[in-house]
Chain A
Amino acid sequence: MGLRRDRGALVLSFVLPLAFFSIFATIFGGQHDSTPRVTLIVVDEDKSQASKDLIGALEHDNSFWVHRTPVTRKGAPAGPEYTAATAEAAVKAGDAPVALIVPKGFGAHPMGFGPDADASAVELLNDESDTIAPQIVMGMLQKAAMTSMPAVMAEEGMKSAGKYIGGFTPEQKKVVENGLADLRKQVASGKLGNDSGGANKGSDDNGAGIIRVKQRAVVGQNKKSPMISFYAAAIGVMFLLFTASGSAGALLDEVESGTLERVLSTRVTMTKLLMGKLVFNTLLAFVQLVAMFLWGAAVFHLDFFNHLPGFAVMGLVTAFAVAAFGLLLASACKTRAQLGSLSTLLILIMSAVGGSMFPRFLMPEAMQKAGLFTINAWAIDGFTKVFWRDLPVSALWPQVAVLLAVGVGLFLIARRVARRWETA
């Protein structure tokens, strides 16, 4: 009976589990694509048949969205092709987690068998926050070599045979034996055939595959704790939303106690009252974020003090947006209990979709786009720019603009909804 009367509890009991089940099923259950596609920037400095075959194979692979030029708006003419420098900048800016650079001269010697092979190496630039994307690229490069470059492979195989076998004279046989013994030793010692080492930091020469790959992390290479900044922002924003809606609930307490009506009979108007609450709740949320990041700095070595300007900007706009969100929820609800149910439902869903529970790059494309409708996603993107990519404050303008607009928009709606309390 209690459950029937308390609609909030009813909603939480049935709707929330279903909503969460659906979100997690979409992310991990493969309702659509089994794996999210990796955005891959490619730079072909070589323009040889081998490089074209290699890139062509990657373009046809369902694992990638391959970009040779920066993405432009629909209908706009494509810009100039990426260069090594612009590709690196794009990875740093977070446009893609990985960039593949096929250097000049690659076509002359595209493959090699064994660690000492003198094959040209392609360069893989990656963002350390995404540990999966470079591994996928590594694997697919080798697959591409195997399946899409048979002629090159045969030719390189002959060259390799020439190197290791050398012919059929006794001396050559000796060389063959030595060479094969050498290869076996390499395999036994683990230098050959190991994981390509996508999680390794900094410059990494991976000669294990038949296509040699030089991997270099261009973002996060010097970070002590790679995911701390991400989770400080992700968890921080989620709890900020809870705090903001709880704090805005004071409005409902005032309605229930009759003090709101009394306050509105003084000089204070509803607009002034809501603005006062918005300012207070913004500051409260900001202080909560500061505490979270200070804790991260003290316990998890988060590099907080070198990112103060960016943190201040992102912290304030995030706090502003969540405070306005809380006020809107409080204005729309009739009781604290209703607010508790609605805020729990919305905040948990926003946090799941918006990347507070796990990184958005793990999610399917559609889910990633849905995340853009949440405060969490924009806030986390902004904090990631500050703490992960070390971007200047000026680079935060999209996140700042969106969060400010969201805050102002939600506040105006809250003001409109609160008209019901003004007069009878």
Chain B
Amino acid sequence: MPLEVERLVKRFGETVALDDVSLTVRAGECVGLLGPNGAGKSTLIRSIAGRVIPNSGRVTVFGSAAGSTEARMALGWVPQELAIYPRISCRENLGAFGRYYGLSGAGLAEAIAWCLEWAALEDRQDEPAKNLSGGMKRRLNMAAGMLHRPKIVLFDEPTVGVDPQSRNRIFGMIEALRAAGAAIIYTTHYMEEAERLCDRVAIIDHGQVIAAGTRDELVRESFGTRSQVLARFAGDSEAIQAWTARHDGRMTGETAEFTIEQAGEIAPLLDDAAKAGLELEDLSLRRPNLESVFLHLTGRELRD
């Protein structure tokens, strides 16, 4: 198994950042860590990279302990914050990190060329990193972790602060890696990213993995075959809340949310709303997604 995390616990003073976390990643698989800010995703990633020593539990990378030279060489870590040298060029940045990974000569030149192509930075390779756009810096930040062609790649929220166009390009880079057989761990608090990129998702909250599986498995576990109805009304908010509670729904902001088994359950709901004097503004029916799962499990939204 490329990566195994067993019953990891990490405390920072009184704060429990990781609470009995277990996880496995298979070759060629992309596992998403989905959770709000402060849930413990980065601590888990840094534990796998050997940068955080857990209080208990263990991490093994192809059978070697996290932090060992073997583990470091098998892992590529792309930290959440940009970690590149701003004053030197893209090529020089890649050269520096390549040497840190023990590359030199033709091997290093080949690795730099591959990374520049992968990150689509060939045209800007001699540009100082500080002069690049935000999206390009992000791509360079990713490329700097790929020089040694790691078998497992850890992406810690690589799309933070990136425009949609650059985000799509980053998705393309990650999909190319996965297609090449790399095992990937991808942390995000964007449900859409997890749904698009990840084969499996582990939902993390307060340092615990509260659910794990494929998207469909997670939805089925939380909602079965039920669908969601989202309705927005104009009118007295107390009346809206009372009506929502009467039908076992819940308010998310100004939207009333229900789960239903059959489409035929919608008409009685709306009849009752009309009787209560509520004026319908918007109505939609959808299959639950990961965000719904998170909300269902924690009572909070992902981006709270």
Contact = CB atoms under 8 A, between A and B. Distances in A.
Given A423-B53, A424-B12, A265 B77 contact: yes
Interface string B37-63: 000000000100111110000000000
Nearest to A422: B51
A260 to B, nearest CB: 8
Nearest to B73: A267
A258 interface: yes
A262 B72 contact: no
B83 A266 contact: no
Contacts of B51: 261, 264-265, 423-424
A261 B83 contact: yes
A265 to B, nearest CB: 5
A267 B73 CA distance: 7
Given A265-B50, A265-B77, A257 B85 contact: yes
Does more than half of chain B's interface fall in helix, strand or loop, or is it mixed?
loop
Nearest to B144: A262
B84 interface: yes
A259 to B, nearest CB: 5
A424 B83 contact: no
A71 interface: no
The range of chain B's interface size is: 20 to 34
Contacts of A257: 82-86
A263 interface: yes
Contacts of A424: 12, 46, 51-53
Contacts of B79: 258, 261-262
A154 interface: no
B69 interface: yes
Contacts of A312: none
Contacts of B101: 266-267
Contacts of A370: none
Nearest to B50: A265
Interface residues of A, number: 13
Contact of B100 (A258, A261, A266, A423): A266
B84 A265 contact: no
B50 A423 contact: yes
Contacts of A401: none
Given A267-B100, A267-B102, A424-B46, A262 B83 contact: yes
Contacts of B148: 266
Residue with the greatest number of chain B CB neighbours at <10 A, chosen from A257, A265, A423: A265
B217 interface: no
Interface in A247-282: 257-259, 261-268
B219 interface: no
Does more than half of chain A's interface fall in helix, strand or loop, or is it mixed?
loop
Contacts of A261: 51, 79, 83
A285 to B, nearest CB: 22
A268 B97 CA distance: 10
A84 B101 CA distance: 65
Contacts of B84: 257, 259
Interface in A42-57: none
A264 B97 CA distance: 11
A423 B97 CA distance: 20
A267 B53 contact: no
B117 interface: no
Interface string A382-424: 0000000000000000000000000000000000000000011
Nearest to B100: A266
B75 interface: yes
B83 A258 contact: yes
Interface in B237-294: none
Contacts of A265: 49-51, 72, 75, 77
Interface string B123-145: 00000000000000000000011
Nearest to B82: A258
Nearest to B69: A267
Interface string A130-170: 00000000000000000000000000000000000000000
A268 B81 contact: no
Nearest to A268: B100
Contact of A259 (B67, B83, B102): B83
Contacts of B83: 257-259, 261-262
A372 B254 CA distance: 76
Contacts of B69: 267
Contacts of A267: 69, 72-73, 100-102
B167 to A, nearest CB: 21
Contacts of B102: 267
Nearest to B101: A266
A259 B85 contact: yes
A247 to B, nearest CB: 15
Contacts of A262: 77, 79, 83, 97, 144-145
Interface string A317-347: 0000000000000000000000000000000
A263 B144 CA distance: 10
Nearest to A259: B83
A424 B100 CA distance: 21
Interface in B83-101: 83-86, 97, 100-101
A258 B12 contact: no
B151 to A, nearest CB: 15
The 4 A-B pairs with the shortest beta carbon distances in the complex, nearest first, are A258-B83, A266-B100, A262-B83, A258-B81
Interface of B: 12, 46, 49-53, 67, 69, 72-73, 75, 77, 79, 81-86, 97, 100-102, 144-145, 148
6 contacts: A257-B83, A259-B84, A261-B51, A267-B100, A423-B53, A424-B46
Given A258-B79, A259-B85, A262-B79, 13 more contacts: A257-B82, A257-B85, A257-B86, A258-B82, A259-B84, A261-B83, A262-B97, A262-B144, A265-B50, A267-B102, A423-B67, A424-B46, A424-B51
